[in-house]
């Protein structure tokens, strides 16, 4: 996807995503899906930033995605204990 003003309105987001040219960017209605084509893992972010933490969180998400720890990897590394109803680390 072409990263332009219409697909990603926030210029700071555009600059940050441009540093990760190996990823595929897909625009949804109100969100952006960023996919690592090697692992098929992804992160999802909002198109707009509501505060300064949004850009920082996206940067951390992209770093995790580049290292192979996107949403799918995170789900596989956690399991839910039915008795406690919270996530427990482990495989």
> Per residue in 32-72, pLDDT tens?
888 988 888 888 888 776 677 888 888 888 998 888 777 77
Domain assignment of residue 75, yes or no: yes
Task: Answer whether 0.75 is exceeded by the pTM.
Answer: no
What residues make up the domain containing 74? 11-89
Domain assignment of residue 2, yes or no: no
What SS3 class is residue 91? coil
Domain assignment of residue 4, yes or no: no
> d(Cα 31, Cα 76) in Å, to the nearest integer?
23
Closest by CA to 23, choosing from 54, 67, 73, 75, is: 67
pLDDT at position 6, please?
66
Percent of the chain with pLDDT over 90: 0
88 within 8 A of 80, measured Cβ to Cβ: yes
pLDDT at position 86, please?
45
pLDDT at position 73, please?
65
Number of structural domains the chain divides into: 1
Domain assignment of residue 34, yes or no: yes
pLDDT at position 5, please?
65
């Amino acid at each position: 996807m072409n990263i332009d003003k219409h697909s990603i309105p926030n210029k700071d987001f555009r600059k940050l995503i441009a540093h990760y040219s190996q990823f595929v960017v897909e625009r949804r209605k109100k969100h952006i899906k960023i996919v690592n084509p090697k692992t098929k893992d992804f992160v999802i972010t909002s198109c707009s930033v509501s505060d300064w933490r949004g850009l920082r969180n996206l940067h951390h998400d992209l770093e995790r995605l580049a290292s192979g720890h996107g949403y799918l990897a995170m789900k596989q590394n956690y399991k839910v204990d039915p008795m406690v109803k919270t996530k427990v680390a482990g495989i």
